[in-house]
Amino acid sequence: MLYAISISLSGIFCTKPFFESDDYSHFEDRAHSVFANLTGISFSLGVAVRMVFAEFLVDFVLNTVFLLLVLVGSIAFSKVSSRRGIVQRGIFFLGFLWLVILY
């Protein structure tokens, strides 16, 4: 539930534009960042809980792989500033893929 709310709210608020000369709302940029971080935290906790309570080894392994991929993607997001949009979409794709496959 927290994941759904936070991902929705991170989509409503805009982040700052790529070009520094453009005007933008600092409040929206901050709100977007807060909700995006909350999305990542709630998703990671959800995967970790499913991993801990997995009944089958294959579920445990798949949850572990998804969690590691999301963590690597999050680290890449903070390190690769020129490709953040692509990395962000990859992380969101992994999240939706996990929901479809394992939930």
User: What is the average pLDDT across 78-88?
Assistant: 86
Quick: pLDDT tens for 10-27: 989 988 777 776 788 889
Domain map of the chain by residue range?
2-102
Range 62-79 average pLDDT: 93
Whole-Å CA distances, 52 to 12, 44, 49, 85, 102: 33, 12, 5, 31, 14
Q: pLDDT at position 1, please? A: 87
In DSSP notation, 40-71 reads HHHHHHHHHHHHHT-SSHHHHHHHHHHHHHHH
Tokens of 77: 């997001």
pLDDT reported for residue 21: 65
Q: What is the mean pLDDT of residues 94-100?
A: 92
> pTM for the whole thing?
0.84
What's the mean pLDDT in 55-84? 92
